[in-house]
Structure 1
Amino acid sequence: MPTGVALRDVREQLFDAAERVLLREGQNALTSRAVTAEAGVAKGVLHRHFADFDTFLADLVRDRIRRVEHQATALRESAGTGTVERNLGDALTTLFCSVAVAIVGLVTARDTLRAMLRGSGVNGVPVLAEAADMVAAYLGAERDLGRIAPDADVDTLAMMVIGTGHLLFAGRRPGTAPEAEEIRTVVRALLIGVAR
């Protein structure tokens, strides 16, 4: 590896490399060596920025949680525009065509990682829990606008949307999505009786 080359935002470079390895080869192939090779940096770079590989993975998960929080803002701002069905379908595609499905498997498979995340206040299933909060906030905003029934239980609906979305996307080739109409059909079925 060349030395003396400045790395722009090395943490993000390493996170993106880890995501590519995770999506392409799965969580068993995710090692510090695989990440640094994918990022095109020397092996020691990761350990200069993180105490150990589990700390790196915990920070990766937290970073991806922050991405969901940014997506939540955009989804909430879409309330009152387009259709609820399309907005939720687009949100599911954005969420699950990213690394979200792979993160769930990673956290499930690594006890140390799961313990580190819980110790830092990350509860539930990382990324999916935040996604359910995102959908609940959006549905709440749509309820306030009268596009969702006033008595709709948006928290339960959000869990149904995220759980069903996870099932739709899990097991597919990374980066691929169900057809938009298939996603909207499922969302439409979940919203029967509450969408206006």
Structure 2
Amino acid sequence: MGEVAERYRRRAEAFEQKIAGVRPEQWGNQSPCDKWSARDVVDHIVAMHGYLLRPVGRTVPPDEDPLPAFRNARAAVEQVLAAPDLAGQECDTPAGRMTVEEQIDQVVSDDLVLHGWDLARATGQDETMDPVDVERLWASNSAIPAEVIERYRTPGAFGPGIEVFGPEVVVPADAPLQARLLGFIGRHP
């Protein structure tokens, strides 16, 4: 298993455990994403999996239940990551041309960490992110040029209803890195 596939697997396992930890009455809970409930967070993750599989002609089998829906999405992505001919195909993305594997790593795999925090916050679960992931996400996000960050913070810049980052939430400079990362992407840690 390659580095990207292993990172995805580890992150997907953590996200799946958070889904499994949601009690039925919690699915309507407000998430840190203003327009999303806990259920909407999982629906977004599943939809993004499907979106990133389109360039290789794959889809995610639908399911109304969040846990099986995510498991279907996860299995489809893991199949693509395990197939070098599919993972290595190039596709056009909002960030430029890259392989399907790179896009999975930079988009949906990273989203599993960030939206895993959203789901945990919405449902009263442990909000601690893996420190390795926090460091990696801090390094990649804080290196994004200011003009690109501004676009990420502009609602609808990537299409109707799409918001990548919220307005930055200022946290103390000496706050833990997880809190600084969350503030940077627009969350209130």
Q: Report TM bin, short chain.
A: under 0.3
Bigger CA radius of gyration: 1
* Structure number having the greater strand percentage: 2
* Structure number having the greater helix percentage: 1
Q: TM-score, normalised by structure 1?
A: 0.26
